[in-house]
Structure 1
Amino acid sequence: MSTAVPVPTVTVRGEALLVVDPEIADLGVTVRVRARDRETALERVRARQDDVTAAVRAAGDAVETAETTRVAVYPGSRPDGAPGDPVASQHTRITVGRLDAVGDLLVALGRLDDVEVSGPSWGLRPDSPAYEQARLAAVTDAVRRARTYAAAFGAELTALLEVSDAGMSGGLRVAGAMETVALSVPGGLHLDLTPARSEVHGAVEVRFAMSAPDSGTWSTEVFRG
């Protein structure tokens, strides 16, 4: 009885790294006040937060979201370690969709008393086309690798057997920059911002069937010494 000859296969990992312009910017805004009692501290936080909200509304549709992420009230302390007046704070995360409006908003928020501003953190929207582009580029890389390996054995790809998403991630590592954006506000104050570009990594694992290797090729070339 004859035994079926196993079909040769090749499994590869395709990868792609795209460097793209950012689509959004995140800002962190913290209102922090100290008062003689907790109720007064909270009232002052609310008043300062109203100022933050007004600045955000003034930015119009440039702001996509403004979300409260943390509120805290805790006992303060003096330099000598003794108990101090209570401290209250509220943190807001702001996502700006128009990058040319980031500078104006930073300046407007930075002018407010008892307000700390951090950022911007540049990034991509969750549904950014860049993610799909990275995945497709990883597939192209996998096919190229597989064909190269098959050719090294004197064979060719004959069928796609399996595709597995090996994962994809977006980063905010600096990899070049967009053109510097010069932004001005009333009073002559301006910020020159250079949005950092984002890296998007795509990876895929693919298994192919291939034709029978050329025994002369792989025995004399691939495994030589």
Structure 2
Amino acid sequence: MTTTPDEAGTGDSQDAPRANDAPHANGAPQGGGAPRVAVRGEARLEVEPETARIGVTVGARGGDRRAALKDLTKRNNAVLELLRSYGESVERIETGAFSISPELKTGRGERVRAYHGKVHVQAVFGDFTALGEVTTRLANLDLTSVAGPWWALRPDSPVHRRARQEAVRQAVVRAREYAEAVGAELAGLIDIADVGTDWMEPEVARGTAAPAGYGAAPGAPAAAPPALDLEPRRQTVYARINARFTITQPVL
């Protein structure tokens, strides 16, 4: 018995399925690809600060360079000793810029009237209980000015991780809502792109910093001033991501 090619199943019968018409795993033809949805996820958290930073400027003035340096060294040591006396409450002490410059007399020639010296110190606090007391004691020192506090989160704070994860969850919720609006469901994740995670720059809270300017003048009463009551400023953390998903075939 002789069979024709169509009867053997190897011919070009119109009823035979073509390779390009094979359904994709998600129901879409392979040639066209799966439908996609692209969304942005955002998160905003408000949390208590983890550190506080203050800046201290120590000044000195003398009739000659040696006298100015001697006074500046003495006052700088007093600031460092005061900060170190608070132990672990002060996490970090850093000395910044140092300068000493002559003050010239007016008139002809370059005659020096006096020498002015300055040194800048920064201190970072992880424990805020003593912050107000330290700030007022520093501001009460001779020719010493204080600025701050500047509140912040640590670079490795778990709050940043929480914000990023919340942004991803919000992206999934938004993508699912878009899919449901066209009668589809989420099928898979294509990619997640981090488009920026940042927080508000810490600012000097009005009324919470020691007054800028010099401390007590020589001969002032030695009684310690009352400690400032400093309220930590809450920090705002933002996270934003872009995400793309595949969805099942819409039912329109």
Q: TM-score range by the shorter chain?
A: 0.7 to 0.9
Report the equivalent of 1:170. Answer: 199
Question: Aligned residue pairs: how many?
Answer: 204
Report the equivalent of 1:219. Answer: none
Report the equivalent of 2:132. Answer: 103
Q: 2:160 aligns with which of 131, 143, 157?
A: 131
Deviation sequence 1:80-130 (CA, Å, 0-9, x none): 9x9753321111110011011101110221111011101111111111111
Match status 1:161 vs 2:198: no
Secondary structure at the aligned position of 1:100 is classed as coil
Residues 66 and 188 of structure 1, relative CA distance in 2, 3 Å threshold: closer
Secondary structure at the aligned position of 1:191 is classed as coil
Aligned residue runs from structure 1 range 30-69, under 5 A:
30-69=57-96
Deviation sequence 1:139-172 (CA, Å, 0-9, x none): 1111111111222222111111111122211225
Residues 173 and 111 of structure 1, relative CA distance in 2, 3 Å threshold: closer
Give % identity: 37
Do the aligned partners of 1:66 and 1:93 also contact (CA within 8 Å) in 2? yes
Match status 1:194 vs 2:221: no
Do the aligned partners of 2:89 and 2:125 also contact (CA within 8 Å) in 1? yes
**Could you say which structure has the larger radius of gyration?**
2
Secondary structure at the aligned position of 1:25 is classed as strand
Offset at 1:188?
6.5
Answer 1 or 2: which has greater helix percent.
Answer: 1
Answer 1 or 2: which has greater strand percent.
Answer: 1
For normalisation by structure 2, the TM-score amounts to 0.74
For normalisation by structure 1, the TM-score amounts to 0.82
Match status 1:207 vs 2:244: yes
Unaligned runs of 5+ in 1: 175-179, 181-185, 217-225
Secondary structure at the aligned position of 1:193 is classed as coil
Instruction: Give the root-mean-square deviation of aligned CA atoms.
Output: 2.4
